[in-house]
Amino acid sequence: MDKQHRIWSLLARRLAGEASAAELEELEAMVRDNPELGYYIKVFISCWPGKDKEVIALAGPVLERIIKRIGKQQDEAAELPGKEGNSSNG
């Protein structure tokens, strides 16, 4: 699992109240290593209606679709000419 996907996965689990202590520590370590990430997570969490279980239940699939879309865009970008691993550039 790539790092960006892992961050979103951990954040989704934290927001859903399903993250283990080890997963919370992993997310905290990522934030320590990248303080800018911490800022974005804080903004995201501040907008999160954490007490509304219905919204949380609906957000899981939405986050999964976002993660898949990001992964697809990364795959497509990797296939563009001039990118490493692209056999069509020469």
DSSP 87: G
Is residue 90 a part of any domain in this protein?
no
Distances (CA, A) of 26 to 18, 30, 48, 66, 80: 14, 6, 21, 21, 33
Domain count, the chain: 1
* End-to-end Cα separation, the chain, in angstroms: 29
Structure tokens at 10: 């951990």
**Residue 87: inside a domain:** no
Over residues 41-87, the pLDDT tens digits come to: 887 777 776 555 555 565 667 677 777 787 788 788 888 876 555 44
Give me the domain span that covers residue 53: 3-82
pTM over 0.75: no
For the stretch 8-43, pLDDT in tens is: 899 888 888 888 999 999 998 988 888 888 888 887
State residue 25's pLDDT score: 92
> Is the pLDDT score of 2 beyond 80?
yes
Q: Which two tokens stand for residue 40?
A: 């974005």
Residue 89 falls inside a structural domain: no
Nearest-5° angle of CA 36, CA 40, CA 42? 110
d(CA 12, CA 8): 6
